[in-house]
Chain A
Amino acid sequence: MATTQPPAPPNSTEDKPQTTPEVVQQANEVQQDGRPEAAKPIVPASVFVNSEPIREDQVSNAVKFLSHPKVRGSPVIYRRSFLERKGLTKEEIDEAFRRVPDPPPSSQPASLNQDGQVKPSSSVQTQATMQTPPPVAAAPTGIVSAGTLAQRQFHWYHAVFAVGVLAASGAGTAVLIKNAIIPRLKSWIRKVVLEEENENAKKSDAKPSLAEEAAAAAKAAAAAAADVARASQEMLSSKNEERRRFEEFMNLIDVQVQEMKSMSNAIRKLEGQADSSGRTFVDHEDHRVSASSTKQSYANGRVDADVRSVRSASPPASAEPPHPKSYMEIMAMVQRGEKPSNIREINDMPPNPNQQPSNPRIAPRTKPWEAQNGSSQVLQSQGSGEGLIQKVQDNGLNYLVDDESSTPWWQRKNVRITEVENEDELKAGPYGVKTNEPPVQRTWVPPQPPPVAMPEAAEAIRRPKSSALKEAAKQEELAEDQSVARPLEATDELNRITKISESAGAVEINGGFSSMNSTEIQEQEQSYSEN
């Protein structure tokens, strides 16, 4: 693929050892200097891949986003899509997903999640929560000692230590409460109960009043919320009403326009035109709003099952483009479940599933960018050899000036330089030479050719080319230097001869047939000698 020496010999044997190997090698070297693409096969993979490091701030934002309870309820694909749209790379998104696992055990302080860590700490926690004095007393001390002993492994033991301290404090307070505070509480409660009997009436009053107040407050809040909801609903409904009225208005206008259309249709029919489809009407003004109203449903482009099933081929534009009137009619029909009447039943299945495609009659052509940039993937399409054929502007001019009918109308340009392409054999036009604009100028400048009878040369080019092309089509990728080398030596040999022969030589070279090359050149020389 690259323009290095090793692939060159096999390629050259394939194509044509017609030219001397030294010239080829020289050209190779020249090309190698000129092209820094030797390492290209490795580079592309890195160019089209993210090489940015993971941005911690983006990842932490993503983690916050993913930890949100509402986000947790949404499908994973939408979470990923959201993060992608925010500009996170794949690696950052994966890292965020890793940090926020789906089942939430997240009670770990500080350190990264490790499954091994979760289990011992949870077991310690269950121990602590049981709170029976003997094991509690033993456990904290055990844990504390364990914690103090092994502090090198930061994460695991740190957490265990912290949990142990918590458990110890919890146990300690539990013990305290049991032993010291509860008796005091009990005595206090007895006092209070005695007082309570006296104040029962007042308390019962106070509580219900408290409850009443709370209830009243809640009712007031609910009422306020209901008011707000009502108000917003009213606003919505008024908006809807307005919109409906507007739509009605537009519909009326539509109706009027339709009547006008039908009238004009009738007129046309009278004039004898059979114009059946309603689609030829082009009205922009009247359907804009009706389009917008129905477009609202897919304005945001999100997954709406009904809409998708109806194939919203039109874009969900934030600014709704005016759809043709009949488009809206058909959409409405389909949404109602009706089928437009002009659909036929067509069987478009292959009649013979094993049918082979016909043999190609033309070899693939070089792309203009391939030839110009001299990429190594050039020249599978040696046939036309557009890229390497130099064309003097004179010839283009000649075509333009001399014989207008020779160039197809689509090639006539206002610009001086025309691109005249070689056609397939069916089109035996007089134009046979190709131009590539800008031409591939690497090592030599084409001399001004004398005006020659191109057609013969073109024919000469084309004849052997057809067979050459077929062979060429089978080849994979040629080193670019090969093709460039050829014109070099071709030029040397055919310096007197016109461009066409040179280009023909190049074509042949691209085509990769040495034998053809020589015969080509000879033929052209003959033709020119005849001239």
Chain B
Amino acid sequence: MPVFKTPFNGYSVKFSPFYESRLAVATAQNFGILGNGRVHVIDLSPSSPVINELIAFDTADGVYDVAWSESHDSVLVAAIADGSIKIYDTALPPHSNPLRSLKEHAREVHGLDYNPTRRDSFLSASWDDSVKLWTLDRPGSLRTFREHAYCVYSASWNPKHADVFASASGDCTVRIWDVREPGSTMIIPGHEHEILSCDWNKYDDCLIASASVDKSIKIWDVRNYRVPVSVLNGHGYAVRKIKFSPHRRNLIVSCSYDMTVCLWDFMVEDALVGRYDHHTEFAVGVDLSVLVDGLMASTGWDELVYVWQQGMDPRA
């Protein structure tokens, strides 16, 4: 399984929804504390387990997250630590990039999510306690959702209902929003500590998972959100990112500050179905490919990006 070494600390990795061998990596210098950033677009070579870099974009400040456009195969969006959002087009020559720099957030933009159903809009979650809705063609945000009392770490679109999304915040709540409504429609006080990530189940539109600093992942049914459907324990430290599998109904992948990437089946009694401890620093980014079942990628502060097939050893 190949490895890609980034010069800066990895923050996020995302598979392209168009090309099954393409990924984008968000990295930030000096662990994202202070320094430059870089977005890498990498490609898996089909014949040999090698990862090539197609193009890289330098930024003045660290890149905390990256998201591929669902409408344009060559466009990606980057969340920058100076509060701006940059849009890049890999099909244009490097000197024409970035396409846009959208500066509205007052603080670091920590999470991005592109709408997989409408394909025209994306969300940005920022440490200025707000979530903003954008489209590629407009220079300003369409909506600002400001209700959280602390940093919003991630936002996630519902895979079935194009207007519904959820946000996870350091105020220990997950909020569910509908872009047609002015305010949040549901508040899930899921954990006693900050919630770093949330994601919807792709096959059951009412299930949402939240990952928290309290090392647990909880699965909630929005129809009965007082009690979690399932609590997944097993990580040794805060869980940084979770993602429901696009191919299997009950599979969740998570990465944590305990440097492992874990696979869970939340419908099973013994939920932990896989654990990969290939990283030697915080594992902060993980993603599952939408196009290839079982293909996963992770990145961490050890400046490495691993891409491997579920069931195989990423370091092999």
Residues of A in contact with B (beta carbons under 8 Å apart): 44-45, 47-50, 77-78, 80-81, 84-87, 89-90, 279-280, 282, 301, 303, 308, 310-311, 313-319, 321, 324, 326-327, 330-331, 334, 339-340, 342-353, 355-362, 364-365, 367-370, 372-373, 375, 377, 380, 386, 405, 408-415, 419, 421, 423-424, 427, 429, 437, 473
> Complex Cα distance A409/B292, Å?
12
B residues 172-216 with Cβ under 8 Å of A?
172-173, 176, 178, 180, 183-187, 189, 192-194, 196, 202-203, 205-206, 213-215
Contact A357 B101 (CB under 8 A): no
Contact B36 A344 (CB under 8 A): yes
Contact A313 B86 (CB under 8 A): no
B268 on the A face (CB < 8 A): no
Residue of B nearest to A407 (CB): B46
Contact A373 B203 (CB under 8 A): yes
Task: Give me the 6 closest cross-chain CB pairs, A-B, nearest first.
Answer: A81-B149, A408-B46, A321-B237, A369-B202, A321-B257, A358-B91
B229 on the A face (CB < 8 A): no
**Set of chain B residues within 8 Å of A356, measured between Cβ atoms:** 99
> Complex Cα distance A278/B5, Å?
15
What are 18 A-to-B residue pairs whose CB atoms are below 8 Å? A84-B189, A85-B172, A90-B187, A282-B280, A311-B33, A311-B108, A313-B108, A315-B194, A317-B193, A327-B31, A340-B34, A348-B98, A350-B86, A350-B97, A350-B98, A367-B159, A372-B203, A410-B20
**Set of chain B residues within 8 Å of A314, measured between Cβ atoms:** 257
What's the interface size class on B, roughly? 35 or more
Contact A380 B178 (CB under 8 A): no
B315 on the A face (CB < 8 A): no
**Set of chain A residues within 8 Å of B21, measured between Cβ atoms:** 408, 410, 423, 427
Nearest CB of chain A from residue B12's CB, rounded to whole Å: 12
Having A90-B184, A327-B31, one finds 17 other A-B pairs with CB under 8 Å, namely A48-B185, A87-B189, A301-B170, A313-B31, A330-B30, A343-B35, A355-B96, A355-B99, A360-B71, A365-B17, A367-B202, A368-B202, A369-B203, A380-B119, A412-B309, A424-B19, A427-B46
A351-B194 in contact given A47-B223, A313-B32, A330-B34 (Cβ < 8 Å): no
B residues 11-33 with Cβ under 8 Å of A?
17-21, 29-33
From A315, A415, A429, name the one whose CB has the most chain B CB atoms within 10 angstroms. Answer: A315
**Set of chain B residues within 8 Å of A377, measured between Cβ atoms:** 117, 160, 162
Contact A410 B295 (CB under 8 A): yes
B275 on the A face (CB < 8 A): no
From B86, B87, B117, B226, name the one whose CB has the most chain A CB atoms within 10 angstroms. Answer: B117
**Set of chain B residues within 8 Å of A405, measured between Cβ atoms:** 47
B residues 29-84 with Cβ under 8 Å of A?
29-36, 44, 46-49, 57-60, 64, 70-75, 80-81
B301 on the A face (CB < 8 A): yes
From B48, B101, B172, B237, name the one whose CB has the most chain A CB atoms within 10 angstroms. Answer: B237
Residues of B in contact with A (beta carbons under 8 Å apart): 9, 17-21, 29-36, 44, 46-49, 57-60, 64, 70-75, 80-81, 86-87, 89, 91-92, 95-101, 107-108, 116-117, 119, 127, 136, 149-150, 158-164, 170-173, 176, 178, 180, 183-187, 189, 192-194, 196, 202-203, 205-206, 213-215, 222-223, 226, 236-238, 240, 246-247, 257-258, 280-282, 290-295, 301-303, 307-312
Residue of B nearest to A37 (CB): B160
> Complex Cα distance A368/B180, Å?
26
**Set of chain A residues within 8 Å of B171, measured between Cβ atoms:** 81, 84-85
The answer, among B117, B164, B257, B311, for a CB contact under 8 Å with A413, is B311
Residue of B nearest to A383 (CB): B18
Contact A317 B213 (CB under 8 A): yes
